[in-house]
């Protein structure tokens, strides 16, 4: 009989943890955060052997995870009214009422402060870049521009390029041209990722009052921008890979990934369809993840 209270307590604890997970984990958008974190790890691995500096790598990864998660939570706190108007996002914790705005704001601020504070312990330069990414993402992209201009994605791309620049700068102790090029490659990739998503959900964004490229400039222009974005991102990553010193099999795999991205982008332009657009959206994320893993593994 003594085991019964312990079992009840364990079940209660599991239920509470499940509730906390349901309330807070969606606030950090784990897939998006994971992809951005991977770029930061790749930036570090491009300049310093991950296996020889694993402790610094882990500390960098943890601080970057906290900062990215914090900025994402703050964005969701600010955009809770938009999310409530779109069926795709109406079930998120804030519009669904699973968590209060005050709780979400405190959660986002806490994660952000912990991430930037930890980064500062590692390097002032690294911390400055991490904070810059957080500030641009939250204050410039989300608060200032997202509801005003379709060009807000440019600043979203600048913020998205900060983790890889921060990772490489921490490893080097300085900002170099390869770090800037890697950051630029992420910025150039962002339109492929964001605009394919905007094409898929154009009516939802219109209902929510968020200006998007398809709504402002038309679907044809948007598809042309996606093709140009894919081409320029692939070229930037290829030049950066050569500058880092990737050779042999790494370059061949990167070439295959780039060819797949360009083929899908051109295909969605030549024969546009919801299916072609969705394939490109999915592959764009796989392309970036694969490219970053190749750059990271090249540092071993």
By the 8 A CB rule, do 46 and 293 touch? no
Domain 26-297 has CATH 1.10.3130.10: no
pLDDT at residue 43 in the model: 98
Q: Is the alpha carbon torsion for 264, 269, 275, 278 positive or negative?
A: positive
Q: What does the DSSP 8-state code read for residue 173?
A: S
Question: Each residue of 193-232: pLDDT tens digit?
Answer: 999 999 999 999 999 999 999 999 999 999 999 999 999 9
Q: Which residues are within 8 A (CB) of 144 and not within 5 positions of it... i.e. 6 or more apart?
A: none
Closest of 222, 223, 202, 219 to residue 266, by C-alpha = 223
Instruction: List Cα–Cα distances, 238 to 193, 233, 234, 262, in angstroms.
Output: 19, 9, 6, 13
Three-state SS at 50: coil
Entry pTM? 0.94
Q: What pLDDT score was predicted for residue 300?
A: 85
Q: Which of 112, 142, 105, 138 is nearest to 127 (CA)?
A: 112
Would you say 137 and 159 are in contact if contact means Cβ atoms under 8 Å apart? Answer: yes
DSSP state of 137: I
Q: Is the CB of residue 165 less than 8 Å from the CB of residue 101?
A: no
Domain map of the chain by residue range? 26-297
CA distance 86 to 110: 28
Rounded Cα distance, 35 and 288, in Å: 8
pLDDT score, position 177: 97
Q: Which two tokens stand for residue 57?
A: 């790598």
Collect the ranges in the chain with pLDDT lower than 50: 1
Measured between alpha carbons, how far is 108 from 110 in angstroms, rounded to an integer? 5
């Amino acid at each position: 009989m003594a085991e019964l209270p312990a079992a009840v307590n364990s079940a209660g604890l599991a239920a509470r943890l499940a509730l906390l997970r349901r309330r807070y984990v969606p606030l950090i958008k784990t897939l998006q955060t994971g992809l951005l974190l991977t770029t930061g790890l790749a930036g570090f691995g491009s300049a310093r052997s991950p296996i020889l500096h694993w402790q610094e790598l882990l500390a960098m990864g943890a601080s970057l995870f906290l900062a990215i998660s914090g900025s994402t939570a703050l964005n969701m706190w600010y955009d809770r009214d938009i999310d409530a108007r779109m069926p795709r996002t109406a079930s998120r914790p804030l519009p669904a009422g699973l968590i209060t705005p005050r709780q979400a704001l405190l959660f986002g601020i806490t994660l952000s402060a912990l991430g930037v504070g930890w980064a500062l312990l590692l390097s002032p330069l690294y911390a400055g870049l991490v904070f810059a990414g957080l500030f641009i993402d939250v204050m410039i992209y989300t608060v200032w521009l997202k509801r005003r201009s379709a060009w807000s994605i440019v600043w979203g791309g600048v913020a998205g390029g900060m983790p890889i620049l921060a990772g490489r700068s921490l490893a080097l102790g300085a900002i170099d041209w390869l770090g800037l090029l890697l950051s630029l490659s992420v910025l150039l990739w962002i339109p492929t990722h964001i605009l394919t998503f905007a094409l898929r959900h154009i009516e939802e964004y219109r209902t929510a009052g968020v200006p998007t490229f398809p709504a402002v400039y038309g679907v044809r222009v948007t598809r042309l921008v996606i093709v140009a974005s894919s081409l320029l991102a692939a070229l930037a990553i290829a030049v950066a890979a050569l500058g880092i010193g990737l050779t042999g099999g790494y370059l061949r795999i990167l070439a295959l990934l780039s060819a797949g991205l360009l083929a899908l982008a051109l295909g969605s332009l030549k024969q546009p369809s919801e299916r072609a657009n969705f394939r490109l959206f999915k592959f764009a994320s796989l392309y970036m993840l694969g490219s970053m893993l190749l750059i990271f593994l090249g540092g071993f």
